[in-house]
Structure 1
Amino acid sequence: MSPLLIAALLCSLLAVSTSAPVQFSPQDGFSQHVELAKSLTKKLLSEIPTVHHSCVGAEGLSLEPSAEAKNLEYIMAALAIPAAPRLAPISETHTPAMSLGRISEGLQLHQHLLQEVKEKLKCSEKLTPLLADLRDLSAQVHKVQQLAQLTPSEPQVQSSSLSSRLTGDYEVQVATHLILQQLRSFGQDVFRSLRHILTHSALGA
């Protein structure tokens, strides 16, 4: 085979390899680790009401939506708590890889926010198990990404400077309430996303 022909073949192979899309190709054990992540998410969700009850005693601050929430709008705006990443159903435009990346980002964000309010809370020890479970779930999602043959990227969580805006006990209680409320909603989305990812991988898509 002539050198020119070999060079042409190598160029063709290189073009194919660089143009091929990244495949979602789970390895053995993937489903078990996604199931474990789902279990950790469920455990996290079950703990949130208990932590909220222990740490948030101000009247009108309920995990469930209430009329009193309208009265908190000015404090909510002043606290400027970052929103959780949006998790959409698996589709052609929202892939399992994107979901896992946003789950990881959201877990890191809430670890950071809870750590900030923990420094101001009188019941800080109540947050310790919840933070530990967040770290465990984050590590498990990292493992799922590896088994899906994805390269986990370390989320860049910018400092929200929330602690500097917590100037009084009421602001601390409102911030804790809002973070736990957001974490519960995000956790519910995480559970649904993991279920969709599991179904997607089972279909061999």
Structure 2
Amino acid sequence: MFKFEKEQVVHDFNGTKLGGQPGEYPTVLGASIFYNKHEIVLDDKTGKIDKETAEALWNRCQELSDITGIPHFIQIIAEYGEAFESYIDWFCGIDDKTAFLMDSSVPAALAHACEYVTQSGVADRAIYNSINGSISPENIEALAKSDVSAAIVLAFNPADPSVAGREKVLVEGGVAGQELGMLEIAEKCGITRPILDTAATPLG
């Protein structure tokens, strides 16, 4: 089996490990929940949900993980800060271990989530999604001030989708007006567990 010559980093999320040599650890899946028009969301602004159905979905994820041996995180999606609070409280109320991604198309909501997980003492389980070329100064500041130490770092370069172009956005910047590379921004934000998203282009 192919192996990297360079020593590979492994990040541990309460026993779920990412990284290492190919095949060293199983691929970790991210189960999305509370996305746009998800039927279990009763009010996307306040974060009111059908808790019974939501918990059943999460239990099903755990069952499938036990059957397949494939570990998973949960990807919490929200467009409002209040909703993030509700969703995070719900999840941490039924699971005290699994890491969760915080994802939003609204920068202010994502910044609020960083502050909230820090105040709630669960920032060690939170994964910011994502540090990319369009990250705002406000979100960089919010992430830096928070206790969040993990983030998806996106290697998306719309001007050059080649491997070299993706590497450039990570180490040199120059995308969407960002002077710094994404990895340097992550370091500036206090991210010690960066998770690289290679921004693979979906075909078909």
Give the TM-score of the pair, scaled to structure 1: 0.23
User: By percentage of residues, which structure has more helix?
Assistant: 1
State the structure with more CA Rg: 1
Q: Which has the higher contact order (CA 8 A, sep 6+)?
A: 1
Instruction: Choose between structure 1 and 2: higher strand proportion.
Output: 2
